[in-house]
Amino acid sequence: MGFSITIVTIAITTILSLYTLYSDQNLLDKLILRPFRDSREGNYYTLATSGFVHADLQHLLFNMITLYFFGGAVDHAMGPMGFMGLYLASIIIANLITYNKYKNDPNYGSLGASGGTSGIVFASVLFYPYSKIFFFFIPIPIPGPLYAVLYLAYSYYASKNNRDGINHDAHFYGSLTGLAVAILVQPGSAIAFLHYITGIFL
């Protein structure tokens, strides 16, 4: 894979996340999306910066491993500029939803690359619908399109019944943004995807 845009993004996110977690908590707080604070102080940069810091090591590892396994496919299909545009758009648009939803809640904060990684995963599924997705705790490969449907359904449900402190809106809207950007950049991919899906059932 070399020094692809995927590896560069992982490196930047990992370095910044570890630095803010273990060396500069003040900087971490400045980069986190806090809708109540940011709407009053005009800190709109947090819509992007919050996607490059994480709450803990497990949070960071999960997102970066996901990005590593799916990022290369999107980089190959869209190129470095397309990859980065999709990744940032997924983070920012997902965070805009969160911003508007929680701008009157002084206790709410959000951070992590989940919106971006969700967008990358969904773009990958669009470009390569025949791919299989594996989980460590599930020994059976899951078809990419089926995973996408289940992921959206769960994220939507969890967002409406949010009891775990996870920003499921970022997962849901990041996924949809990644899908939308991929289709806008490469409309033919949507046609190929539909041909593949209909070929399975017809």
Q: What does the pLDDT look like over 117-131, one tens digit per residue?
A: 999 999 999 999 998
pTM beyond 0.75: the answer is yes
Q: What pLDDT digit, counting tens, does each position of 56-65 carry? A: 999 999 999 9
Percent of the chain with pLDDT over 90: 77
Q: Domain containing 86 — which CATH number?
A: 1.20.1540.10
Q: Residues 20-46: what's their mean pLDDT? A: 96
- Provide the residue range defining the domain that includes 164: 5-200
| Residues 120-168: tens digit of each pLDDT | 999 999 999 998 887 666 667 888 888 889 999 989 888 887 766 788 8
Burial zone of 199 (CB within 10 Å; 0-12 exposed, 13-18 middle, 19+ buried): exposed
Q: Which of 173, 169, 174 is nearest to 158 (CA)?
A: 169
What mean pLDDT do residues 85-93 have?
98
Q: Give the count of beta carbons closer than 10 Å to the beta carbon of residue 52.
A: 20
168-185 and 114-127 helices cross at what angle (nearest 10)? Answer: 40
- pLDDT bucket at 1, cuts 50 / 70 / 90: very low
pLDDT for 87 beyond 90: yes
**Domain count of the chain?**
1
> Which ranges of the chain does DSSP label H, i.e. alpha helix?
5-22, 25-31, 35-41, 46-49, 57-102, 114-127, 144-160, 168-185, 187-201
d(CA 105, CA 39): 11
